[in-house]
Amino acid sequence: MLDNLLFQLPFIIFIGLFSQWLAWRFRMPAIVIMSIAGLLIGPFTGLVSPKETFGPMFQTLISLAVAVILFEGSLSLDFREIRGFRKSILRISTVGAAIAWLTGSVAAHFIAGLSWPVSFVIGGLFIVTGPTVILPLLRQAKLKERPAAILKWEGIVVDPFGALLALFAYQVVLGIYQLEGGTSLTVFFVSAFLAALLGGLIGFIMGQCLERSLIPEFLKSPLLLAMILLVFAISDAIMHETGLLAVTVMGLVMANMHLTSHHELLHFKENISVILISSVFIMLTSSLTIDILWQIIDWRMLLFVLAMMFVVRPLSIWIATINTGLTLEERALIGWIAPRGIVALTVSGYFATALQEVGFQSAQLLTALTLALVFATVVAHGFSIGWLAKKLNLQASSGTGIIIVGASPFTTQLAISLKNNGIDVLLMDRSWEDLTLARQNDIITETGDILSEHTEFYVDLTPYDQLIVATKQDAYNVLVCADFVPELGRLNIYQTALHSTDPKNYSRKYGGQLLVDAQHDIHQLNELVEQGAQLRQTKITEVFTWKDYLEQNPYAIPVYAITQDGDIVLDMVNKYDDIKQEPHTIISLIG
């Protein structure tokens, strides 16, 4: 049963997603957990062997999955996001990539012992990082806006160019040695241009069709997915590895058309991307053999990996970012973080076979060399990015941050109370006047609509992982909650009680969790504050118990609590019974 395709495919998907859950549950880098899980069920135990089971379909499935992942990443590359630091991204993607290619090739030849032709090819490939490894790290680390955006853009933009550089180097090698299979460089550049043109044209046509409602809602995402795969297949048929460029350009064009359905498409692609990244990592690592793993511990392999991490990457970034406006701390972080992932593994396998077929025997080391670099960078950068960002003061927030939507007497008091307890707070409202009291108390405020495009691209929401919506309009509250569920998760979104006659399942189905309780809506809470009620906090201990507190404050309205571990509890309706027997701090509205 274990070598049955019907069993292995669902099992691989399950192990991948279970690894993602474990990483989330224990706050560990997901790509590290996935890599370990793949080795456990593959070469260490022999439970699965995808390369043998899938046969010729193995590489095809991997390539199609990478195409979808790259498109999903490029679909988030809106040029408005990089206002003020486009120069940095351009220099890193060009000058930095060129330096990394040359120095990486030198390291591959003199340290790893590869021949110059093989080193030249693999040096181009090793400039890639990619969304499969960068995006999970950025979600984990919560970096500040600028370094996070630069790492994301570099990972997505450079990914297809790394494959193209390796292909370019391969064609040059074949031409110099006059070997069969080579094509002229003119054909190579024309093929790359046609791939980019095809991707851009299809992206524009699909964007127009989506915007003009020429495609029904239920077909938008499925049809777009089919077009991604088709564009990739057509480009790859013209010349191998140009498909990655085509789908990246396609996503980039659609991202900057500012489509009204952009968010829906992005959420759909993100869900697929999580499944694909998890499954592909498991498939690749579980297909390795013990022999390849033994090759990794060769001293030349390890020395090459160290050179790539501590010399090639920092040197290329430091030179490329001269006079770009980046701080020393930002350059240090970006110069360290460069994990390699799926594209490096899959494309190196292709070139290892191709180079050996034309007589370059040192290419047999490429798979082990790539695997060593992938594992080392994934583990080192996965565990160090958060620590280093914190040390360099480039972490947006190391603890809980809360956005409060709707400025009023109650929410202003709540923001002040949270701030006094060390919680990062952003109070947002469409009225400048309603935010006056908050500004006077040094609360971070933002005037505008949280659902607007201005907020999306010009307000940094990265430090905030929880949301409280407390405007005077029930329907708007529910709409905001529903919009942020994909980003924050329903358990981190709260809204005040409905004050209209709408049924309760209206907010249960679409909105967030209840803030305070069902008996006090925002109007009643504001009225109590205007009559003199204030948020007061009291420590509940084994000596001064919850019962004693109620006897002294019979009309207190619990708003939130802080546990002994410093965790904030906003879901007082459902969670408070679990903690009220333990020492904690209770913050209540008391008249």
Cβ atoms within 10 Å of 562's Cβ, excluding its own: 20
CATH architecture of 5-183+265-391: Up-down Bundle (1.20)
State how beta strands 424-429 and 401-405 pair.
parallel
- Quick one: the chain helix, strand, coil %, rounded to 5? 65, 10, 25
- CA distances to 142, 240, 242, 424, 552 from 199, rounded to whole Å, are 32, 15, 10, 42, 69
- CA distances to 112, 118, 294, 318, 535 from 108, rounded to whole Å, are 5, 8, 19, 21, 64
Whether pLDDT at 397 is above 70? no
Strand, coil or helix: 588? strand
- CA distances to 20, 279, 339 from 380, rounded to whole Å, are 18, 22, 8
Mean pLDDT within 353-369: 81
pTM of the model: 0.72
Whether pLDDT at 483 is above 60? yes
Position 1 scores a pLDDT of 47
- CA distances to 165, 177, 183, 236, 407 from 180, rounded to whole Å, are 20, 9, 9, 20, 71
State how beta strands 513-514 and 493-495 pair.
parallel
Position 200 scores a pLDDT of 93
pLDDT, greater one: 228 or 155: 228
Cβ atoms within 10 Å of 105's Cβ, excluding its own: 23
Give bridge partners of residue 403 from the DSSP assignment: 426, 467
DSSP alpha helices (H): ranges in 466-504? 474-488
Q: Which among 133-147, 354-368, 443-457, 470-484 has the top mean pLDDT?
A: 470-484
| Owner of token pair 């190579």 | 188
- CA distances to 342, 411, 525, 553, 569 from 519, rounded to whole Å, are 52, 17, 10, 18, 19
**Tens digits of residue pLDDT in 549-590:** 888 888 888 889 888 878 888 887 777 666 777 788 888 898
Average pLDDT, the chain: 83
**Tens digits of residue pLDDT in 205-237:** 999 998 888 888 888 888 988 999 999 999 988
* Helical (H) or strand (E) element with 191: helix 185-211
Position 410 scores a pLDDT of 93
Radius of gyration of the chain (CA): 27
| Owner of token pair 């600028």 | 146
| Owner of token pair 């390699």 | 340
Closest by Cα among 82, 128, 83, 94 to 319: 94
Q: Is 485 exposed, middle or buried (0-12, 13-18, 19+ CB in 10 A)?
A: middle
Strand, coil or helix: 427? strand
Q: Is 175 left (phi over 0), alpha (psi -120 to 50) or beta?
A: alpha
Asked if 405 and 481 touch (Cβ cutoff 8 Å), the reply is: no
Mean pLDDT within 290-306: 84
Handedness of CA 327, 400, 533, 501 (dihedral sign): positive
With a pLDDT cut of 70, the percent of the chain lying above it is 91
Closest by Cα among 244, 250, 281 to 265: 250
- CA distances to 67, 120, 272, 355, 357 from 178, rounded to whole Å, are 32, 16, 43, 13, 14
Closest by Cα among 419, 426, 443 to 537: 419
Q: What is the DSSP letter of 496?
A: P
pLDDT, greater one: 522 or 155: 522
Greatest alpha-carbon span in the chain: 92
Whether pLDDT at 2 is above 70? no
Asked if 393 and 332 touch (Cβ cutoff 8 Å), the reply is: no
How large is the angle between the packed helices 145-176 and 185-211, nearest 10 degrees? 140
Closest by Cα among 245, 250, 196 to 225: 250
| Owner of token pair 């940094």 | 460
Q: What is the DSSP letter of 380?
A: H
Question: What size, in residues, is the chain?
Answer: 591
Name the residue ranges covered by the structural domains of the chain.
5-183+265-391, 401-590
Asked if 576 and 559 touch (Cβ cutoff 8 Å), the reply is: no
pLDDT, greater one: 503 or 91: 91
Asked if 520 and 497 touch (Cβ cutoff 8 Å), the reply is: yes
573: tokens are 């309706």
Q: Extract the runs of DSSP E, i.e. beta strands, from 362-500.
A: 401-405, 424-429, 444-447, 466-469, 493-495
Please give the CATH topology (third level) of the domain spanning 401-590. Rossmann fold (3.40.50)
- Report the range of poorest mean pLDDT among 67-71, 93-97, 191-195: 67-71
State how beta strands 557-563 and 568-569 pair.
antiparallel
Asked if 202 and 231 touch (Cβ cutoff 8 Å), the reply is: yes
Rounded distance between C-alpha atoms, residue 479 and residue 475, angstroms: 6
242: tokens are 């140009």
Mean pLDDT within 95-101: 92
In the chain, how many H helices and how many E strands? 27, 10
Closest by Cα among 67, 50, 68 to 285: 50
* Helical (H) or strand (E) element with 514: strand 513-514
Whether pLDDT at 167 is above 80? no
